[in-house]
A and B are shown apart, each in its own frame.
Chain A
Amino acid sequence: KQEVTQIPAALSVPEGENLVLNCSFTDSAIYNLQWFRQDPGKGLTSLLLIQSSQREQTSGRLNASLDKSSGRSTLYIAASQPGDSATYLCAVGVGGNEKLTFGTGTRLTIIP
């Protein structure tokens, strides 16, 4: 059974700093990995999607990497802003049927 873990569970950093969120998964036979952002009481916003054949994806200040063999992914946020405060979830897909197994999430707080 696939298990997805995110470390740390919570993180607070001053505005302007660069930061890294970590995601690990137990079964390397994944189809893709997706990073999401969730604001309190809200739904999920897709940030980046990495296919199993890819090593990284970039969107603006965000960069996600994938090392499938070691079962790890990182989300790098550059020049953090208070608006980046949210819970970040990673999720892995298996078999290409869009069914996702979610990680435990990292609650990020950017201090102005």
Chain B
Amino acid sequence: GAVVSQHPSWVICKSGTSVKIECRSLDFQATTMFWYRQFPKQSLMLMATSNEGSKATYEQGVEKDKFLINHASLTLSTLTVTSAHPEDSSFYICSASYIGTLAEAFFGQGTRLTVV
């Protein structure tokens, strides 16, 4: 299957700082990537759809000014958590797919964010 790489795998930051998470498709081009968030013992919730070359589409209730998404190339999307607070501590994970996989989603390994 296709490989999606996410970096960093974990990060600890202080309240008020910003954190950038990268999601890369290593062996294919992805015009669309998705960002999910998973709180402890809960399932994944879609945050936003990242579109190459255009603005991201955010799900209801997700603050676009707080979670900045940039999809600068066909292989890279970034999620920046701005002015992070302890309640932003969560597991963030991205997915991507490409034409020919019948919309099969491939996921990165996730990023554990802890805000102290």
The distance from the CB of B44 to the nearest CB of chain A, in whole angstroms, is 4
Q: Are B104 and A46 in contact (CB under 8 A)?
A: yes
- Tell me which residues across on chain B come within 8 A of A101, comparing CB atoms: 46
Complex CA distance for A42 and B93, rounded to whole angstroms: 10
For the complex, count residues of B whose C-beta is within 8 A of A: 26
Q: Are B105 and A93 in contact (CB under 8 A)?
A: yes
Flag the segment in B11-19, B81-89, B108-116 that touches A.
B108-116
Complex CA distance for A28 and B90, rounded to whole angstroms: 31
Complex CA distance for A103 and B104, rounded to whole angstroms: 17
Show 8 residue pairs from A and B whose CB-CB distance is below 8 angstroms, ordered by the A residue: A32-B102, A34-B105, A41-B91, A43-B109, A45-B107, A46-B1, A46-B107, A98-B32
Residues of B within 8 A of A (CB): 1, 6, 32, 34, 36, 42-46, 49, 91, 93, 95-97, 102-110, 112
Q: In terms of DSSP, what is the predominant structure of the interface of chain A?
A: strand
Q: Are B105 and A100 in contact (CB under 8 A)?
A: yes
The interface bits of chain A over 39-60 (1 if a CB of B lies within 8 angstroms of the residue's CB, else 0) are 0011111100101000000000
Q: Are A104 and B105 in contact (CB under 8 A)?
A: no
- Tell me which residues across on chain A come within 8 A of B107, comparing CB atoms: 36, 43-46
Complex CA distance for A98 and B96, rounded to whole angstroms: 8
Q: Are B43 and A105 in contact (CB under 8 A)?
A: yes
Task: Confirm or deny: A96 has a beta carbon within 8 angstroms of a beta carbon on chain B.
Answer: yes
